[in-house]
Amino acid sequence: MMQNGRGLVVDVSDFLHEEACSAWRDLKRAYYWLYLPVLSRVRLRVPYWMLDVVRVSYRLWRRLPRWRQLPQ
pLDDT at 69: 60
Distance CA 30, CA 35 (A): 7
If phi > 0 it is left, if psi is from -120 to 50 it is alpha, else beta; for residue 4 that is left
For 22-65, how does the pLDDT look when each residue is reduced to its tens digit (9 = 90+)? 777 888 888 888 888 887 788 777 788 888 888 888 888 888 76
- Listed by start position, the domains of the chain span 20-72
Tell me the pTM. Answer: 0.50
